Structure formats: C-alpha cells, structure tokens
Amino acid sequence: MKREPVRTTTGSGPPEAETWLSPGVGSVGAASFCSDAGHEITTAILPTLLTSTLHATPGVLGVVEGVSDALTGLAKLAGGPLADVPERRARLATGGYLGTALATGAIGLAATVWQVGVLRALAWASRGLRSPARDALLASLAPPRAYGRAFGLERAGDNLGAVAGPLLAALLVSLLGVRGALYCAALPGLLAAVAITVAGREAHRALSAPRAGARTRVDLRRLRRTGLFRVLVPVALFELGNVAVTLLILRATQLLHQPGRSLAAATSLAVLVYAAHNAFAALVSLAGGRWIDRGGPRSAFVVGALAYTAAYALFAVPWHGWPPLLLAFVLAGTGIGLIETAESTIVARTVGDESRGSGFGLLGLVQSLGALASSAAVGLLWSRQGAAAGFGYAALLTGASATVMWGVNRARFRAAPTV
C-alpha cells in the first residue's frame, strides 16, 4: 500500500511539541474572516432588499436561501474529490473565494427577485466549491491533536467576520443606501483570496512528494468504510432544522418594527442584535475547539443542538422588545459555534487525508440539503400558519438531533487519523 506524503513541521522539536498555530493555519482563519465580512454585508441587507425593495414574501426569501444552500451542497460534493489532491486545494479555494466576492457584490445591481436568486446561488455555489479544499487544506496544516482548535480558529474567524459584516452593513446603509452597501461587499472577499493563497503555499511546502492517481468523483464505498455515514445521521437531523440566518433577521425586523420605530431603524437594530449572535459564535468556537480536543466532539454537538432548540423556541414567541431577541440570537450563536467546529472535527478525525476532501464535500452536501429543506419548510410554514409553527418545527428537529448524537458511541470520535 502506498504511503501518504509526510507532513513536515517547523522547528527542531518533535511533532507533539510544535505549536499548532502556524502561519498557514492563521491564514485560513484570516481568509474566513475577510470572506465572511463581505458576504455577511449582503446577508444582513438581503431580507430588506427582497421584502421591502422588491416586495417579496418570507416564503420567497426562504426558497431563495434554501436553493442557494442546496447549490452550495452540490458544489461541495463536486469539489470534494478534487480537493483530495493536495496540489489542487489552494487553486480551488482561491477561485471559490473570488467567485463568492464578485457574485455577492453584483447583487447590488439586481432589479428583480430572480436576479437576486441567481446571483445569490452563484455566490453560494462558489462558496461550496471552495469549502472542501479549504477544510482539507487546514487539516493538512494542523496536527491531529489540535484539529478542534484549528477548526475552532477557522470558525472563529468566520464568525468574527459575521460580526464585522453586519456592523459594516449598518454603517454602509446609512451612508450609501441599500444598493451602495451591496456593492462594497466584494472588497473583503478579494482580501480573502489573498490570505488563502498564503495558506496554500504553506501547505505546498509541507508536502514531501506529490500524490498521483487521484480520483475525480466521490468514492462512497470508501467513505462508508470509514464509518462516516453513521456519524452523519445526527448531523443530517440537525441540518433539517437549521434555519438560514436571514429568516432570523427577518423575524427580528418584523417584531421590532412597531409604532414609533421605522422600518430602517428596526432593520438596523435587528442587524446589530444579529452581530451579537456572531460574536458569541466566535468566542464559543475558540473555547469549544479546546473542549473538543480534550473530550471529543460528541458532547459539544449535543450542547450546541440544545442551545439551538432553546433559541428557536424563543423566536416562536412574538416578543416586541430587543432583550428576548438578543437572548435568542446569543443562544443560536452559542449553538453554531459548537456545532460547526464539532462537525468539521468529526470529519477530520474519521476520514484519512487521502479521502478527506470527499469527506468534507459529503458533509457540505448534508448541511446544504438540510438547509434547503429547513429554510423552505420554515419559510412556508411561517407564511401559511405563522412564525410559531415554523420555528416550532425547527426546535423539534434540532432537539431530536441532540438525542440521536448522544446515542453515538463516544469511542468513534477519540482517535484522530495520522497523515
């Protein structure tokens, strides 16, 4: 059996003594921060653009987000086996970041709902194509003992970008208007492409030899033998209840739009409250990564899913003050900080480097198809039977996923494969 290329480390000590926070790992985190800051500007403004400027319904918003997320999943599945080849990872990631940046900024030019949908889908497809390459790149740069911390740092960068994005959106809307703010969303994404290129160079230097004979399609049999399918069952259940954040922003905006508070003021307040969601997600990602490295990802996933259940229960209630909505966003931020870090660590620990791109691609497909179903279901239930029905559905599914994950044997997540 052919041996995998040996990943080298910097310094003179043994691998276990080397720091996990290398320039390459830091560059991946920086890329996530910059890219998310860019497309979160659009995410924060999109509900207002669609429902107020273009006069769409919450159901249309849910379908647009769900379809975009589904295309993200298909792109992740397609990009997964391509990312199994280490030499391709940097090029795929760079191209994906560029595509996301340009399509996101172009939404400012859209004059109809279908144009918004097409551009959002293109941006999210580019995002999906890059994700397996970025995650496989990160797993090749970090030591297995620190996968939780490395993915926690990447998720923290992503979520801090999601703090900066809404804050920038609130500022840019006040200065430039909705469309002017959307045009500016492309600039941080271009910086992300530069940062991921640095990470790619670090990973290339760590390769002792190129790999030949790589596949260009997902080898499902090989992934099944790793046991990945079984541990993805609770992940799939969670994603079926994981609602697009644009629906949460819309819910907050509608509740805050009361006599004495204009729609613009309600939108700005909802965006600021959403920024707290992302700030907590960043903090929890960092702390959760260390927790996962010590105790495994199962318990972190369960706690994250239960936090989401509580958050959706709060969103189902018609609060008109900002404190309960702030609590709901904080709980959701806590949940996503734990869940995303745990999911990435599960794949990195379960699948070896020779199929890791495909593993992350399959995870992305599960996440995105779940998002399609959940966003469309919640949006349609909301439009027909009220918000309580939609968010009650989401709470039921996320709570069930916690129960199923707790039943998974903890030993499945203990041993990290060497690369």
What is the 3-state secondary structure of the chain? CCCCCCCCCCCCCCHHHCCCCCHHHHHHHHHHHHHHHHHHHHHHHHHHHHHHHCCCCHHHHHHHHHHHHHHHHHHHHHHHHHCCCHHHHHHHHHHHHHHHHHHHHHHHHCCCHHHHHHHHHHHHHHHHHHHHHHHHHHHHHCCHHHHHHHHHHHHHHHHHHHHHHHHHHHHHHHHHHHHHHHHCCHHHHHHHHHHHHHHHHHHHHHCCCCCCCCCCCCCHHHHHHCCHHHHHHHHHHHHCCCCCHHHHHHHHHHHHCCCCCCHHHHHHHHHHHHHHHHHHHHHHHHHHHHHHHHHCHHHHHHHHHHHHHHHHHHHCCCCCCHHHHHHHHHHHHHHHHHHHHHHHHHHHHHCCHHHHHHHHHHHHHHHHHHHHHHHHHHHHHHHHHCHHHHHHHHHHHHHHHHHHHHCCCHHHHCCCCCC
Residue 238 binned pLDDT confidence (cut-offs 50, 70, 90): very high
pLDDT for res 215: 56
Does 11 reside within a domain? no
Least confident of 28-32, 340-344, 376-380: 376-380
Least confident of 5-14, 77-86, 378-387, 396-405: 5-14
Segment 13-22 shows an average pLDDT of 58
Radius of gyration of the chain (CA): 20
pLDDT for res 47: 76
Comparing CA positions, the residue from 71, 58, 60 lying closest to residue 390 is 58
Does 13 reside within a domain? no
Instruction: Check whether 35 has a pLDDT greater than 50.
Output: yes
What distance lies between CA 373 and its chain's CA centroid?
A: 16
Q: Which two tokens stand for residue 176?
A: 């430039």
Does 268 reside within a domain? yes
Does 2 reside within a domain? no
d(CA 100, CA 94): 10
Does 114 reside within a domain? yes
Instruction: Check whether 379 has a pLDDT greater than 50.
Output: yes
For residue range 40-66, list pLDDT tens digits in order: 888 878 877 777 777 777 677 777 776
Answer whether 0.85 is exceeded by the pTM.
Answer: no
The CATH number linked to 281 is 1.20.1250.20
Does 210 reside within a domain? no
Residue 391 lies in domain: 23-205+215-413
| % of the chain surpassing 70 pLDDT | 89
Does 383 reside within a domain? yes
Number of domains in the chain: 1
User: 65-69, 125-129, 319-323 — which one is most confidently predicted on average?
Assistant: 125-129
d(CA 81, CA 84): 5
Residue 266 binned pLDDT confidence (cut-offs 50, 70, 90): confident
Tell me which amino acid residue 398 is: T
For residue range 153-199, list pLDDT tens digits in order: 999 998 888 788 878 887 888 888 778 888 888 888 889 988 988 88
Segment 196-217 shows an average pLDDT of 66
pLDDT for res 334: 92
Does 6 reside within a domain? no
For residue range 250-263, list pLDDT tens digits in order: 888 888 887 877 77
